[in-house]
């Protein structure tokens, strides 16, 4: 794991540590962003940029876009909390006009990793450019693994772009632990888009290979889902859950689903699960 909680960061880390129980609320994200901006402003106004980083920071304000990207990449190679904080200059769309530079900053922060990188990336979740937000969601996964889940959940819950929400589902699938379960459950049950619900059901099935409690999540979604295509995907995922935990829910679908195709698929997968034991 690339992030370790510490006493000095307790207030901010509390937001992250509850990721398996609640999403990062909009006001919490705003608070994290405000605190990151204050830290950045304090460093700049007090002249506390380390001397060896000052030249690179100055290049972040160069007129040439390619040069600014090179400066972003150089700071990313340097790494560390200070470099992550300085990259706020390049990832905030109030300060950096070029989406390509902001995307480069997102990737660089993902490479740096750690709490300061996560908090700086949070600023870009509200970027006006959808490509930057896509790159940010991907970078969050690399920056913080399970500690990135609340930030990714924020994108999955609130981003208007279907592409960003699908990217968020994909990143939660890649993280692939119990911490991903609640955001995916919420998306499976509440997202208006069929594709997001399908992808969430698939992701939960992958997590279910290691986490048997996913069965009850999928079972509840199966009862509530109106679309037969999504129910078919849920049935498939129930067949993947470890220790045959999905069998009771498959049995219910076999007997009671209103769609014949779903009942047939549930019957097939029920038998397959038993046959593989």
Show the domain range for 228: 192-277
Phi-psi region of 45 (alpha: psi -120 to 50; beta: other; left: phi over 0): alpha
Within 13 Å and on the Cβ side, how many CA atoms surround 132? Answer: 23
Residue 16, pLDDT above cutoff 50? no
Query: Residue 90: inside a domain, yes or no?
Result: yes
Classify 71 as helix, strand or coil: helix
| Mean pLDDT over each residue of the chain, to the nearest integer | 91
pLDDT at 10 over 50: no
- How large is the C-alpha radius of gyration of the chain? 21
Residues 13 and 49 in one domain: yes
pLDDT beyond 70 at 21: no
pLDDT of residue 144: 83
Choose the final residue of a domain: 137, 172, 207: 172
Question: Nearest-CA neighbor of 111 among 152, 144, 72, 142?
Answer: 142
Q: What is the pLDDT of residues 62-103, one digit of tens each?
A: 999 999 999 999 999 999 999 999 999 999 999 999 999 999
**pLDDT beyond 50 at 200:** yes
User: What's the rounded mean pLDDT across residues 58-65?
Assistant: 98
* Domain tally, the chain: 2
Q: How many residues make up the chain in this entry?
A: 277
Burial (0-12, 13-18, 19+ Cβ within 10 Å), 63: exposed
pLDDT above 80 for 2: no
pLDDT at residue 181 in the model: 97
Structural domain contains residue 182 = no
Q: Quick check: is 63 in a domain?
A: yes
263 and 148 in a common domain: no
């Amino acid at each position: 794991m690339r992030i370790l909680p510490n006493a000095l960061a307790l207030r901010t880390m509390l937001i992250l540590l509850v990721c398996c129980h609640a999403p990062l609320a909009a006001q919490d994200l705003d608070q994290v962003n405000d605190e990151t901006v204050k830290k950045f402003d304090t460093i700049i106004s007090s002249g506390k940029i380390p001397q060896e980083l000052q030249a690179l920071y100055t290049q972040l304000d160069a007129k040439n876009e390619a040069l600014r990207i090179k400066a972003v990449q150089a700071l990313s190679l340097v790494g560390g909390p200070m470099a992550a904080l300085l990259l706020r200059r390049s990832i905030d769309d109030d300060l950096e006009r070029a989406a390509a530079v902001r995307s480069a900053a997102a990737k660089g922060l993902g490479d740096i990793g750690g709490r300061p990188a996560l908090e700086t990336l949070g600023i870009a979740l509200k970027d006006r450019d959808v490509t930057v937000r896509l790159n940010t969601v991907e970078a969050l996964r690399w920056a913080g693994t399970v500690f990135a889940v609340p930030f990714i959940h924020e994108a999955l819950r609130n981003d208007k772009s279907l592409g960003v929400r699908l990217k968020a589902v994909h990143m939660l699938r890649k993280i692939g632990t119990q911490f991903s379960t609640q955001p995916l459950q919420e998306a499976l049950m509440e997202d208006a888009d069929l594709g997001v619900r399908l992808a969430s059901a698939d992701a939960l099935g992958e997590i279910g290979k290691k986490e048997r409690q996913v069965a009850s999540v999928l079972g509840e979604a199966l009862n509530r889902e109106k679309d037969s295509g999504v129910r078919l995907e849920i049935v498939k995922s129930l067949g993947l859950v470890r220790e045959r935990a999905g069998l009771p829910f498959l049995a219910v679908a076999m007997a009671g689903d209103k769609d014949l195709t779903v009942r047939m698929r549930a019957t097939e997968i029920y038998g397959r699960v038993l046959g593989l034991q």
